[in-house]
Amino acid sequence: MTQRPCVGFTGYYGMRNFGDDLFGVLCAAAARRYWNADPLLVGPTLEGAQARATWPSTFPSTLYGSAGALGKAARVVGFVRGLRASDVLVMGGGSVITARESFRKPMMLSARRRGRVQLAAVGVSVGPFPDAASQEAAAAFVREFSYLSVRDRRSYELCRRMGLDHITHHGRDLAGLLRTVLPLSSRTAASDDRSVPRIGIAPCRYTVRDDHPAPTPVQWHDGIVHAITRTAARTPLQVEVFSLNAHPVHGDEAMAAQLQARLRERGVAAGLHAYAGSEPLATVDAIQRCDAFVSARLHGAIVAYLCAVPFAIVDYHPKCRDFADDIGLPLHLRITSGAHETPAFMQVLDALLNDEGARARLSPSLYAQQAQDIFQCAPWSTSPAHTHASSTAA
């Protein structure tokens, strides 16, 4: 390996999802800081990443994330380029160690077994798996890795049961690095008017899972619209609806626009912030300007938490519950199948706007400090870990 290794990061970058693009920006910055590495993003260039990318800047980035044969071909070519150029290939962020099939896995294993590249994953979730066979297949894949940093306690305990404890570190979500590798204070909008409370809402286009009871999007949208309308009748406020995924099929733009329209019809001042892709730090700024945040998108909630914005999360997926459990988020700030109607949201809004005690048990500053271990505990670290180890992670 060269003195300054080339570290490729692969994920769902360039697919116009805020959380995934943020992972790419943070991985690039952290690799430079903690590994003294030359980062390479497998995908299009991301603003703020200051890293090379495998997708030519002269080509439209929307093509890379498009559906159909052309989009898939673009992603395959980009991945091959990244694999060939990297000394270490890292799966950077997200729910990526699952039972889903991917063209990436056999290519990664082939390169690893030929000694061409080392493999790793950081800031990821593992599972859940539908059966023992798919779990063992995932374990066999990850055994080829040199390092695995998972973002939640459930994934860590699962990895131990899978026999992966020798490479597994109980870390945090990659978004926790915002405070250290891209300090939030330098991006605060000092001129922003905070005289009227601003409530952020981030919907998500999801289907309720059989194994995880949750309110449907329609159900909790009804509850929050009526609760905000009642609250706005008593005290001035403004709402910013966030579309954090611009994918034409799986994205949130239509849903967010509908929420905005419903609020405006009821006389509530409501704006729309639509993430269009490639500029995740601008969306971090917009979340930071809110006084309260209600999010179905996991990384809307995580970024609000790290920005010290009081927040509630829609618990529609195991990853949402994993994060809420890990930070000790109070139960009344979790939107669930049993607490999603107007009275529940009235309680949520009152707590977020008026109750200083309505906060997670784990402070954002401690979470951010611990997040540095994601990279500092890796074999390539030039900056030794000094916060917590996997055996003592909270």
Name beta bridge partners: 293: 200, 311
* 50 and 154 share one domain: yes
What integer is the mean pLDDT of 114-128? 95
Residue 334, φ and ψ in degrees, nearest 5: -115, 125
Residue 179 falls inside a structural domain: no
Over range 99-128, report the average pLDDT: 93
Taking CA atoms, 107 is separated from 30, 113, 145, 146, in Å, by 25, 10, 14, 16
- Domain with residue 244: its CATH number is 3.40.50.2000
Q: Taking the model in full, what pTM does it have?
A: 0.93
What mean pLDDT value characterizes the chain?
92
pLDDT band for 192, please (50, 70, 90 cuts): low
- 89 with 202, same domain: the answer is no
User: Do 17 and 155 lie in a common domain?
Assistant: yes
209 and 78, same domain (yes or no): no
Q: Are residues 160 and 199 in the same domain?
A: no
- What CATH number has the domain bearing residue 23? 3.40.50
Q: Does residue 385 sit in the same domain as residue 356?
A: no
Q: Does residue 133 lie within any of the structural domains?
A: yes
Examine the domain organization and report whether 249 and 273 are in the same domain.
yes
Contact status, residue 359 vs residue 307, Cβ threshold 8 Å: no
Residue 195 above 90 pLDDT?
no
With cut-offs at 50, 70 and 90, classify the pLDDT of residue 101. confident
The mean pLDDT value for 172-190 works out to 77
115: in domain: yes
* Same-domain status, 39 and 156: yes
In a domain, 156, yes or no: yes
Residue 10 and residue 115 share a domain:
yes
* Number of domains, the chain: 2
Tell me whether residue 182 is in a domain: no
Q: Is residue 370 part of a domain?
A: no
Q: Indicate the pLDDT class of residue 55, thresholds 50, 70 and 90.
A: confident
Q: Which domain holds residue 139?
A: 6-171+377-392
Q: Which of 33-37, 276-280, 369-373 has the lowest mean pLDDT?
A: 276-280
Instruction: Identify whether 177 is part of a domain.
Output: no
Asked if 62 and 152 sit in the same domain, the reply is yes
- Assigned domain for 371 exists: no
The pLDDT of residue 278 is above 80:
no
Verify that 263 and 117 share a domain, yes or no: no
Residue 191 has pLDDT above 70, yes or no: no
Same domain, 144 and 214: no
Sign of CA dihedral 110, 67, 44, 189: negative
